[in-house]
Amino acid sequence: MDNSKHPCYNADAHTKYSRMHLPVAPQCNISCNYCNRKFDCVNESRPGVTSEVLTPDMASQKFSWVKEKIENLSVVGIAGPGDALANWDVARKSIELIQAKGEDVLFCLSTNGLMLPKYAHELIELGIHHVTVTVNCLDPEIGAKLYKVVNYEGQAYTGAVGAEILLKNQLEGIAYLVAHGVLVKINIVMVKGINDHHIPEVVKKMKELGVFMTNIMPLIPAPGSAFEQFPQTSMKEINEMRDLCQLDVQQMRHCKQCRADAIGLLGNDRSNEFRMTQPKEEVSVEKSDASKEYKIAVTSKHGKLVDKHFGHVTEFLIYEGDGKNFKLLENRKTEQYCLGSEECDSEEGRKDATIQALSDCDAVLTMRIGYHGKQRLAEHGIMSVEYCYTIEDGLGYAVKQLELKKAI
């Protein structure tokens, strides 16, 4: 199987080739305690969120649009925002419509694996050679702590009973795919105190089944989820676990935990450039009538969109205004808050320097910010506002959030 152009399955390809995710699968058949799927969310970059849900026809049109603009597009995948196999009719139709165009692209999808025994043969017939399955445990008692409900064949199962059904189907489906030449990647969400001690056992089982790669990912505490108060797993802990499990199975180390509508290189999501539908009305927030002026730091690539991660910038745009009118005061250079991998947990001096550089600001307006960065800003009285549209609308939105906080 040629993986030379698949950015997830080949680390050397992720800076050369782009992928696009088709958000055509809104329904999910299990409820994970770490998940809170917001379908119409332009402000977040994590699995399970998207700014739009597409029909198969819209997905086909969007593919042609993206393919025309991004020459190095090599992969089309379905990763939600729910589960691809819980929406198999629309997922299959979307793939078939794009396949009919005759373009040279790979197709892949992600699933929780509950419906793999039913649909695995159809995946193979459709020519899908790359499938990602999320397998967080092998023990139903651990699964009972990770999954709230498993909906299977018209019945809702909870606790260890539901987890056992899910696990049985995952293992059966993975074995079938591998036996028929499909490259299977396993995602594992590492949750401290729940399954972290159990992950090496999961990886050894995946080795036994013949999977191609495992991807151990940090928990992102999603607001509104059962695990929203859990600590985000540090990259130091993740990399230590990857190093341990590398002895059994190849480890993915370049995952960006992408949105369900992600487009572009793994490290440069361009999904905001390719929306088939306009943001809902509430995204363009009414301007405040307050006379107080706020100072807001913005993360932006070119000074038009709020489109950079807080941890990746070395320069903030500093605006001041009252909600109606804003003026750009300066471009303020700072230390990069996070260099990635293990360094992101160790360089406290650099992090403190970044926070100190923003100490006169009321808020930071950014496309995305990590849990620890958000907490550290809050400790210094600086609000974090996640947003992903124009700076003008974002500044108005940030002022509204500041005033709501003030009113509480």
Question: How do residues 284-295 score in pLDDT, each as one tens digit?
Answer: 334 444 468 999
**Per-residue pLDDT at 20:** 86
Q: Answer yes or no: is pLDDT of 79 > 90.
A: no
For residues 232 and 259, membership in a common domain is answered with: yes
Q: How many other CB atoms sit within 10 Å of the CB of residue 244?
A: 14
Which of the four pLDDT bands, split at 50, 70 and 90, describes residue 80?
Answer: confident
Q: Is residue 92 part of a domain?
A: yes
Q: Per-residue pLDDT tens for 81-110?
A: 889 999 999 999 999 999 998 888 888 899
For residues 392 and 337, membership in a common domain is answered with: yes
**Per-residue pLDDT at 275:** 75
Q: Answer yes or no: is pLDDT of 23 > 80.
A: yes
Q: Average the pLDDT over 18-36 and give the result.
A: 83
**Worst-scoring range by mean pLDDT, 218-227, 347-356, 377-386?**
218-227
Q: Answer yes or no: is pLDDT of 180 > 90.
A: yes
DSSP 278: P
Q: Is residue 398 part of a domain?
A: yes
For residues 357 and 374, membership in a common domain is answered with: yes
**Per-residue pLDDT at 286:** 43
**Per-residue pLDDT at 256:** 62
Q: Average the pLDDT over 275-282 and give the result.
A: 52
Domain count, the chain: 2
Across the beta sheet with 315-321, what order do the strands follow? 326-333, 315-321, 294-298, 363-366, 383-386
Which of the four pLDDT bands, split at 50, 70 and 90, describes residue 36?
Answer: low
**Which of 273, 299, 318 is the last residue before a domain boundary?**
273
205 is in which domain, residue-wise?
Answer: 11-273
**Which of 251, 273, 295 is the last residue before a domain boundary?**
273
Pairs from 161-167 (Cβ < 8 Å, separation ≥ 24): 162/30, 163/137, 164/140, 165/114, 166/30, 166/112, 166/113, 166/114, 167/135, 167/137, 167/138, 167/140, 167/143
Q: Average the pLDDT over 305-332 and give the result.
A: 89
Q: Is residue 6 part of a domain?
A: no
d(CA 41, CA 50): 6
CATH number at residue 48: 3.20.20.70
Of 32-46, 200-214, 297-311, highest mean pLDDT: 200-214
379 or 41: whose pLDDT is higher?
379
For residues 105 and 253, membership in a common domain is answered with: yes
208 or 257: whose pLDDT is higher?
208
For residues 253 and 200, membership in a common domain is answered with: yes
Q: Answer yes or no: is pLDDT of 159 > 60.
A: yes
**Per-residue pLDDT at 343:** 44
CATH number at residue 354: 3.30.420.130
Q: Give residues with Cβ within 8 angstroms of 218, minimum separation 6.
A: 189, 190, 232, 233, 234, 235, 237, 238, 257
Q: Is residue 268 part of a domain?
A: yes
Which of the four pLDDT bands, split at 50, 70 and 90, describes residue 2?
Answer: low
Q: Average the pLDDT over 384-391 and give the result.
A: 83
For residues 102 and 196, membership in a common domain is answered with: yes
Q: Is residue 256 part of a domain?
A: yes
Specify the pTM.
0.66
For residues 72 and 194, membership in a common domain is answered with: yes
**Per-residue pLDDT at 6:** 75
Q: Is residue 5 part of a domain?
A: no
For residues 290 and 307, membership in a common domain is answered with: yes
Q: Answer yes or no: is pLDDT of 342 > 70.
A: no
